[in-house]
Structure 1
Amino acid sequence: MADPLAEKLVQPAVNPKHLAYCPTIDLIALASIDEHIHVYRLNGQKVFGITYKQSVNKVNQIKWKPNGQSLAAAYDNNFLSLTNAHTGKMVHQIDCSAYSKSKICCLGWGINFTNGNKVSLELDRFEDGLTLDDVISQNPRVKSMDTVPDLPLDLALLDVEASLPKLSPLSSGGIEDDVFSSRASLDTLFQPLTTGSTDSADILVVGFEDGTVHLSIYDFFEIGSFNLQQASRGFQNCRPILHCSHPYSTTHSMLVSTPIGDQEILHIVPLDLRLISNAGRYLSLLASKSTQLHTVLRYIHQVQRQMHSDFKASQELPSRYIANIEESLQKQADCNWTQAAYHLVVTGNCCPEVKEWLVDQLGERGHKRWEKATTTGYENVRRLAHENLLPALERFAVLMSRLRGLSRFQLSNADLGLSTQEIDNVLDTLSCLQLMAHQILITSGSELRQFLAFSAWLRQEMDIQASDASVAASAEKDVNVDHASTLEYIQGAMTQSQLNSFFNLEAHAEEEPPWDLAAEGRSLFELYKRGLQNAGREGSCANRLPPLDALMKHLDTQCNAIFNGIAETQRRSVRFGAPIVLQKGVSACMDMRMLRELIEEKENFVLYVVLGPVTHQSEVHIYRVLMGIKNGISSTKSVEGAVIKTAGWEVGDVKFVDDDELMLAVSAKSSNRLFRIPYRKIADASGKLVYATINETNVGQRMDGHDDLSSIDLSCPDVASAYTWHEFPEGISWAPERIEVNGRKGRRVICVLAQDRFHYRVYDLDNSGGSEETQGIGVEGSDEVMS
């Protein structure tokens, strides 16, 4: 018997298809039947929840990142959300409908080392128990691996961005806006390359029901979409089911189901990612900087939208006030508000229409609203330009300069897909944006000072017109008014702010851009600077200067060209290997694991696949596929199989625990058990799984069972007792339906979901002592109901 570390009652019920245990932190993620995702600690405390705003969409898949930093959740409308495990904030939301119209049916997340042999040798040198899991989870002890300096690599990975000021949070206003709304989420998004990640790249694999597979690196940097039909002509209606990878292997594996007639055939399809070996040590640098560029670009877009929104809001209320007095003046005095206000400032003579408007329509309350709206708008625009836009543009320039350095290194240029000319064009546009940001900062400050002078004069004029004070008293008050600034505001920013040309408030969607940015081949920055210098001259083309949104669209186009060039180069290094037929029929439970084994004094990658019983059968099949990988291209050396007979037991789930054992959850009328069975191939070992080679001649008969494949028969009581790891006592209605295993050293646990789908328990795999009687104790918060 094993003592449970934790037990919890959850309501509403858990969807058994969506249960995931975090690889590095004791967090359990699950999706309830109401399509909400909840993340709990072992003590039952809820850490955070993920609720999609369009609640009608169902959860399709959930998957933890191998280092436990993020949780991916896919919905049936093909939206994929990435949530940070430490902050509970949504880091990114991806619309996958652009890749395929079919639903997401498979999520895979793997970490690959660009030089697996180097990492392996480094780990072999240490005798303090440092493991591969420590490297993947970026354990602090990994820093001790950097004992031998590598000057070229150290210079390439020199983190200049760490010395830049941190970007300031933005006010939230929507799903994506919340990503930049807190300091914690910003620090998570702009994490520098750590020691454990400089030689690795994480690959996110998204599979669709029509056979499309989409790849991306570092969550956001897209490689592209591929179709499994490229692997075989017979894959017409195939769909990916599971994904598996190993940190040292450049080849991933996918379990694929293909309908043939009235049956479904399961295949293993190797996915060769030669880009990992081709780009080498620069892949992690390229992918991380490109990902950060994506993030900074999103941040700049959000700043631009907020600046546009704040300035537009500051102009709406004054425009309504001015429109009211304009209508009266045009009908009765044959002039406009600008002329009347200018006349009033210079002569002090107030016409009846202006006096009525000042006293009866505008009033003290209207003046305060006008002052607050305009002042707040100018201050927000100035603050966003100074605290957000300029620092973001500076960070963008530094990141783009890093890519420019890589592009000028010609030895890596062919493998990375970078173009120095395209990057220079981006930097030129970036200089325009920086110049515009400074102009916005200067203009907003100048117009704010003018408005404050105008507001003080307007308030004073309202008091004069509303009272019977003498001319001498009014003249005395006139001393405190800045008439020059007031007149400048009346002639300019009051009705036609210079910021309008930056934010393009009067432009319509159907109009063409104000300036053809690709019309001349010269520097765009020089053209823009010359346009600003000539803006005050008569007949200048200042009105043709591009606004902020036009420059942002141009920057987007240029950046997309760079990203597409990188993705296209990496896409050419992706291929599907020859499919491997496993069996007929799709099991209700299955798992995959890739290992590196020493065979004939050579390191080889071996893929293990365990498949639960198909309908009307009582056998668990385990397949062992020996793979050969040379220059990033895989081949199949041999396929072997073994069988675990489960007659009399109903198999609920099956999972690999670690590199040696697998866990089998079974139930019967009188007993419910967890079997722990060694699966590694051991020659001539009594009581162990004995693998037999499966030849091409009996491929179609693999799932029928063969005597030479049978090695363990759990229908025998003695054999079942020998492999029993945990048994639930009789009389307790607690049968396991789904299990999730974390087999990492230092935290080897198994999470078991009951068939009632309201309870789950967590057991320590390294501690089998105790008795079932202690299970009633539970933990604090075990009766907590999910909100």
Structure 2
Amino acid sequence: MAEPLAEKVVQPAINPAHVAYCPTMDLVALATIDEQVQVYRLNGQKVFGILNKQTPAQVDQIKWKPNGQSLATAYSNHSLTLTNAQTGKVIHQFDCSAYSKSRICCLGWEVNFTDSNKVNSHINKFKGELTLDDVISQNPQAKAMDSAPDLPLDLAFLDVEASLPKLSVLSSGGIEDDIFSTRASLDTLFQPLTTSSTDSADILVVGFEDGTVHLSIYDSFEIGNFDLQQASRGVYGCKPLLHSSHPYSTTHSLLVSSQAGMERELHVVPLDLRLISNAGRYLSLLAAKSTQLHNVLRYINQVQRQMYSDFKASQDLPRRFIGNVEEALMEQSDCTWMQAAYHLVVTGNCHSEVREWLVDQLGERGHKRWEKATTTGYESVRRLAHENLLPALERLSVIVSRLRGLSRFQVSNVTLGLSTQDLDNILDTVNCLQLVGHHILITSGLELRQFSAFSTWLRQEIETQSSDVSTTEAAQKDMNIDYGSTLEYIQGPMTRSQLARFFDLELGVDKGSQWDLAAEGRSLFELYKKELKIDEREEPTGKGLPALDALIRHLHTQCRVVFNNIAETQKRNVRFAYPTSLGVGTPTCADMRMLAEHSGDADQFATYVVMGIGQKEPEVRVYRIVLEIENGMSTTTSVEIASVRLAGFDIKDVKFIDDDEFVLATSGESSSRLFRFPYRKRSDRSKTLAYTVMANQAGKNAKGTAERANIIPSIDLADPQHLRAYTWLEFPPGVSWTPERMEVNGRKGRRVLCIVAQDNFHYRVYDLDSATEPQELGPEGSDELMS
């Protein structure tokens, strides 16, 4: 009897449809009936929770990243969030309604090597010490066994961004703001391109109920949408159910449910990602740099919003104070506050309206509020420009220069979809933004010094007008006032700050449309520099300077052109192969796994699908679909089937453990059991499931239909010998221990099984290697069950 490693009682109840075990860490992610996602350690301690902050929505899917660093959560309101497993912070949030209006029904997140031969030879070199799981997990063991330096490769992937200063954190203030609010989340978002990740690409597959499939690489680098209805050649009403792939394969497999008359039919649809083989080693570099570019753009946009908010707050309160006195001055003295203040500084003569305002309305308290708001605003703008905006623009220019270097190679230009001219336009806009950033930095420092002098004078005037001060005392206090800076502030920043032209507070219109590069035909940087000099001389011109947000929107538009060109180029290298039918019906449970197999002198890939069928006469069917892949194009060569007949048991769930076994959870009248069965077809093993050929050369069939065959059960659990031989774990009677859902981690060193009980309040985690092996069958029964 296997002893559980961990046991947990969860409140509120678990939604058994959404449970996921982290592939690299002992973390269990599960959704509760109140539509929250909770992540627990094996000792039951809660690590973090994920709550959809926008609108109440149901959890549709959860999926871990192959290296266990992120968790994807899909909601019924078409949102998809990626949460960092180390910090619990949301690092990306997508509005999937732009891809499809249907709900998400399938999530696949797999890693693919761009040079599988290199990785395979590297693993074979350290045979017994290094495994494929070690490479995927990017653990220290895999990094310590890196192969000899490859100078051309090392130069190609030289990461200059790692030597740049780290970007500073931003204050938290909303859903997206939290991404940049901690050092841990920033380091995760802008982590450098490591050597172990240069030969691989993380593929995120999002399937929708209407048959739409969305692909992205490196979390947020989008490839585009694909329609299963059009790709599946005569198969209608497609709904993706499961996804699988192998790190060595450029082809992924989708288990799709389609409409066949009044019933549903299951198909396996190969998804050929030729972009992996065409782009090769540059794919990981392209995707990583494009993702970094996207993240820096988000960071710059957030910096701009904070600068705008802080500067606007610093101007609103003084405007309200000035508006109170200016209305009285215009009615009684026919002058503005600027004229009255200038007159007071130069002559010392104070209007009665100004004296009343200084003493009765503004006072010491109002002056402190004015000083705090304005000083804080200027200091915040100066700090954001110096610590956040300019470093982010520097990092952005380095990333764009790296992409520009790739675009100058003609071969990669066609393969990767990069345009040198588009990247030059981005660099020109970045130069323009750097010019604006330096002017903001200089102007905010200058106006802050001027305001400090004005604030000192204003505080003295409040004291002077509210009390009887002798001429000698007033003269002594005047010695501490910088009248030149005070007058400069009154004439300029007090009513019209030079920073307002960069934040567009008064006009509130987008002047960026006047700076269309196609219309101007010249450098935006040169135009802006010229217009900036004219604006400083206060000469009237036909056009005004575009604000900072207009320039950033223009930068986003230019980057979107680059992203779209890359995505369109890679999208042309994605293809759906012929679907293979597995028969009519809806399984009670199913799982899918792709394996790399060696047959003769050729390497091939086999997709295994295991599913539970039927209620009255339940059975488990295992399908083996063999694929041959050449130049990124897959062909289905054969389809085979094996079955396990159950007697007296109801199927609860079935999952693949690893490349050799799958586990079956059942419930019966007397007890509930877990069974383990070997499934992989091997010529060097006498014990394996007996597969029957369903169709030969299914890929050459126009319809891709797998012909049904007479299925002879490989295993019949009605036989006591079979029941005893394959039983791995037997549960005591009771609802709290009857299995309802399973999650398996079959990786080396973490072979565990997580079982959710039927009452949906309990879950247990078992070590798959803790129990003794199932009892071997005698020689009389082995030939009957295995082939």
Task: Give the TM-score range, shorter chain.
Answer: over 0.9
Greater shift, 465-474 or 544-553, is seen at 465-474
Kindly indicate whether the alpha-carbon contact (under 8 Å) linking 2:213 and 2:227 is maintained by their aligned counterparts in 1.
Answer: yes
Question: Equivalents in 1 of 2:712, 2:84: separation in Å?
Answer: 45
Q: 1:542 to 1:322 in 2, by over 3 A?
A: farther
Kindly indicate whether the alpha-carbon contact (under 8 Å) linking 1:687 and 1:712 is maintained by their aligned counterparts in 2.
Answer: no
CA deviation digits over 1:220-248, x for unaligned, max 9?
00000000023234233211000000000
Kindly indicate whether the alpha-carbon contact (under 8 Å) linking 2:511 and 2:550 is maintained by their aligned counterparts in 1.
Answer: no
Kindly indicate whether the alpha-carbon contact (under 8 Å) linking 1:70 and 1:82 is maintained by their aligned counterparts in 2.
Answer: yes
* Secondary structure of 1:52 counterpart: coil
Q: 1:615 to 1:636 in 2, by over 3 A?
A: same
CA deviation digits over 1:275-306, x for unaligned, max 9?
00100001000000100100000000000000
Q: 1:289 to 1:733 in 2, by over 3 A?
A: closer
CA deviation digits over 1:725-756, x for unaligned, max 9?
11113568521111111000111000011111
Question: Equivalents in 2 of 1:434, 1:180: separation in Å?
Answer: 21
Alignment-derived partner of residue 102 in structure 2:
102
* Secondary structure of 2:519 counterpart: coil
Greater shift, 139-148 or 720-729, is seen at 139-148
Kindly indicate whether the alpha-carbon contact (under 8 Å) linking 2:238 and 2:259 is maintained by their aligned counterparts in 1.
Answer: yes
Q: Following TM superposition, by how much is the alpha carbon of 1:540 offset from its aligned partner in structure 2, in angstroms?
A: 4.3
* Secondary structure of 2:169 counterpart: coil
* Secondary structure of 1:108 counterpart: strand
CA deviation digits over 1:242-287, x for unaligned, max 9?
0000000000000000012110000000000000010000100000
**One-letter identity of the residue aligned with 1:726:** L
Question: Equivalents in 1 of 2:145, 2:511: separation in Å?
Answer: 59
**One-letter identity of the residue aligned with 1:350:** C
Alignment-derived partner of residue 385 in structure 2:
385
**One-letter identity of the residue aligned with 2:607:** L
Q: Following TM superposition, by how much is the alpha carbon of 1:520 offset from its aligned partner in structure 2, in angstroms?
A: 1.2
**One-letter identity of the residue aligned with 2:690:** V
Alignment-derived partner of residue 757 in structure 2:
754
Kindly indicate whether the alpha-carbon contact (under 8 Å) linking 2:418 and 2:565 is maintained by their aligned counterparts in 1.
Answer: yes
Alignment-derived partner of residue 413 in structure 2:
413
Kindly indicate whether the alpha-carbon contact (under 8 Å) linking 2:694 and 2:707 is maintained by their aligned counterparts in 1.
Answer: no
Q: Following TM superposition, by how much is the alpha carbon of 1:158 offset from its aligned partner in structure 2, in angstroms?
A: 0.7
Alignment-derived partner of residue 775 in structure 1:
none
Q: Following TM superposition, by how much is the alpha carbon of 1:61 offset from its aligned partner in structure 2, in angstroms?
A: 0.2
**One-letter identity of the residue aligned with 1:199:** D
Kindly indicate whether the alpha-carbon contact (under 8 Å) linking 1:515 and 1:544 is maintained by their aligned counterparts in 2.
Answer: no
Question: Equivalents in 1 of 2:540, 2:123: separation in Å?
Answer: 68
Question: Equivalents in 2 of 1:260, 1:464: separation in Å?
Answer: 91
Alignment-derived partner of residue 479 in structure 2:
479
Q: Following TM superposition, by how much is the alpha carbon of 1:199 offset from its aligned partner in structure 2, in angstroms?
A: 0.3
* 1:224 has 2:227 as partner: no
Question: Equivalents in 2 of 1:542, 1:193: separation in Å?
Answer: 47
Q: Following TM superposition, by how much is the alpha carbon of 1:536 offset from its aligned partner in structure 2, in angstroms?
A: 3.4
* 1:127-276 matched pairs, under 5 angstroms: 127-276=127-276
Q: Following TM superposition, by how much is the alpha carbon of 1:25 offset from its aligned partner in structure 2, in angstroms?
A: 0.4
Q: Following TM superposition, by how much is the alpha carbon of 1:479 offset from its aligned partner in structure 2, in angstroms?
A: 1.4
**One-letter identity of the residue aligned with 2:248:** Y
Kindly indicate whether the alpha-carbon contact (under 8 Å) linking 2:61 and 2:75 is maintained by their aligned counterparts in 1.
Answer: yes
Structure 1 gap ranges (5+): 771-787
Comparing both chains, which one has the higher relative contact order based on Cα–Cα distances under 8 Å and sequence gaps of 6 or more?
Answer: 1
Question: Equivalents in 2 of 1:259, 1:509: separation in Å?
Answer: 52
Q: 1:507 to 1:748 in 2, by over 3 A?
A: same
Alignment-derived partner of residue 743 in structure 2:
740
Question: Equivalents in 2 of 1:162, 1:233: separation in Å?
Answer: 48
**One-letter identity of the residue aligned with 1:107:** L
Alignment-derived partner of residue 568 in structure 2:
568
Kindly indicate whether the alpha-carbon contact (under 8 Å) linking 1:326 and 1:336 is maintained by their aligned counterparts in 2.
Answer: yes
Kindly indicate whether the alpha-carbon contact (under 8 Å) linking 2:104 and 2:207 is maintained by their aligned counterparts in 1.
Answer: yes
Kindly indicate whether the alpha-carbon contact (under 8 Å) linking 1:311 and 1:381 is maintained by their aligned counterparts in 2.
Answer: yes
Question: Equivalents in 1 of 2:215, 2:712: separation in Å?
Answer: 37
Kindly indicate whether the alpha-carbon contact (under 8 Å) linking 1:231 and 1:579 is maintained by their aligned counterparts in 2.
Answer: no
Question: Equivalents in 1 of 2:30, 2:127: separation in Å?
Answer: 38
Alignment-derived partner of residue 717 in structure 1:
720
Alignment-derived partner of residue 23 in structure 1:
23
Alignment-derived partner of residue 606 in structure 2:
606
Alignment-derived partner of residue 781 in structure 2:
none
**One-letter identity of the residue aligned with 1:23:** P
* Secondary structure of 1:675 counterpart: strand
Q: 1:367 to 1:732 in 2, by over 3 A?
A: closer
* Secondary structure of 1:641 counterpart: strand
* 1:492 has 2:495 as partner: no
**One-letter identity of the residue aligned with 1:736:** P
* 1:511-590 matched pairs, under 5 angstroms: 513=513, 515-537=515-537, 539-541=539-541, 544-590=544-590
Q: Following TM superposition, by how much is the alpha carbon of 1:607 offset from its aligned partner in structure 2, in angstroms?
A: 0.7
Q: Following TM superposition, by how much is the alpha carbon of 1:695 offset from its aligned partner in structure 2, in angstroms?
A: 2.9
Q: Following TM superposition, by how much is the alpha carbon of 1:471 offset from its aligned partner in structure 2, in angstroms?
A: 2.6
Q: 1:583 to 1:158 in 2, by over 3 A?
A: same
Question: Equivalents in 1 of 2:3, 2:30: separation in Å?
Answer: 22
**Structure 1 length normalisation: TM-score?**
0.95
Q: 1:260 to 1:489 in 2, by over 3 A?
A: same
Question: Equivalents in 1 of 2:78, 2:470: separation in Å?
Answer: 73
Alignment-derived partner of residue 80 in structure 1:
80
Question: Equivalents in 1 of 2:537, 2:727: separation in Å?
Answer: 90
* Secondary structure of 1:396 counterpart: helix
* 1:425 has 2:428 as partner: no
Alignment-derived partner of residue 117 in structure 1:
117
Percent identical among aligned pairs is 67
Question: Equivalents in 2 of 1:486, 1:758: separation in Å?
Answer: 70
* 1:286-365 matched pairs, under 5 angstroms: 286-365=286-365
* Secondary structure of 1:238 counterpart: strand
* Secondary structure of 2:665 counterpart: strand
* Secondary structure of 2:48 counterpart: strand
Q: Following TM superposition, by how much is the alpha carbon of 1:143 offset from its aligned partner in structure 2, in angstroms?
A: 2.5
Question: Equivalents in 2 of 1:512, 1:183: separation in Å?
Answer: 34
Question: Equivalents in 2 of 1:614, 1:248: separation in Å?
Answer: 35
Q: 1:574 to 1:475 in 2, by over 3 A?
A: same
Kindly indicate whether the alpha-carbon contact (under 8 Å) linking 2:204 and 2:216 is maintained by their aligned counterparts in 1.
Answer: yes
**One-letter identity of the residue aligned with 2:715:** I
* 1:33 has 2:36 as partner: no
Alignment-derived partner of residue 780 in structure 1:
none
Question: Equivalents in 2 of 1:494, 1:589: separation in Å?
Answer: 70
CA deviation digits over 1:312-346, x for unaligned, max 9?
00001100010011100000001110000000000
* Secondary structure of 2:376 counterpart: helix
Question: Equivalents in 2 of 1:486, 1:518: separation in Å?
Answer: 45
Alignment-derived partner of residue 770 in structure 2:
767
**One-letter identity of the residue aligned with 2:184:** A
* Secondary structure of 1:637 counterpart: strand
Aligned-pair Cα RMSD in Å: 2.1
Question: Equivalents in 1 of 2:90, 2:478: separation in Å?
Answer: 56
Question: Equivalents in 1 of 2:684, 2:285: separation in Å?
Answer: 47
**One-letter identity of the residue aligned with 1:429:** T
Q: Following TM superposition, by how much is the alpha carbon of 1:522 offset from its aligned partner in structure 2, in angstroms?
A: 1.3
Q: Following TM superposition, by how much is the alpha carbon of 1:647 offset from its aligned partner in structure 2, in angstroms?
A: 2.1
* Secondary structure of 2:255 counterpart: strand
Question: Equivalents in 2 of 1:427, 1:767: separation in Å?
Answer: 59
CA deviation digits over 1:473-531, x for unaligned, max 9?
22222111100000000000000001110000123358774644543111111111111
Kindly indicate whether the alpha-carbon contact (under 8 Å) linking 2:735 and 2:759 is maintained by their aligned counterparts in 1.
Answer: no
Kindly indicate whether the alpha-carbon contact (under 8 Å) linking 2:72 and 2:82 is maintained by their aligned counterparts in 1.
Answer: yes
Greater shift, 230-239 or 583-592, is seen at 230-239
Greater shift, 344-353 or 519-528, is seen at 519-528
Kindly indicate whether the alpha-carbon contact (under 8 Å) linking 1:649 and 1:715 is maintained by their aligned counterparts in 2.
Answer: no
Question: Equivalents in 2 of 1:682, 1:428: separation in Å?
Answer: 60
* 1:2-17 matched pairs, under 5 angstroms: 2-17=2-17
Alignment-derived partner of residue 773 in structure 1:
none
* 1:669 has 2:672 as partner: no
* 1:360-375 matched pairs, under 5 angstroms: 360-375=360-375
Question: Equivalents in 1 of 2:696, 2:560: separation in Å?
Answer: 47
CA deviation digits over 1:3-23, x for unaligned, max 9?
110111111111110000000
Q: Following TM superposition, by how much is the alpha carbon of 1:714 offset from its aligned partner in structure 2, in angstroms?
A: 1.2
Q: Following TM superposition, by how much is the alpha carbon of 1:669 offset from its aligned partner in structure 2, in angstroms?
A: 0.6
Kindly indicate whether the alpha-carbon contact (under 8 Å) linking 1:687 and 1:711 is maintained by their aligned counterparts in 2.
Answer: no
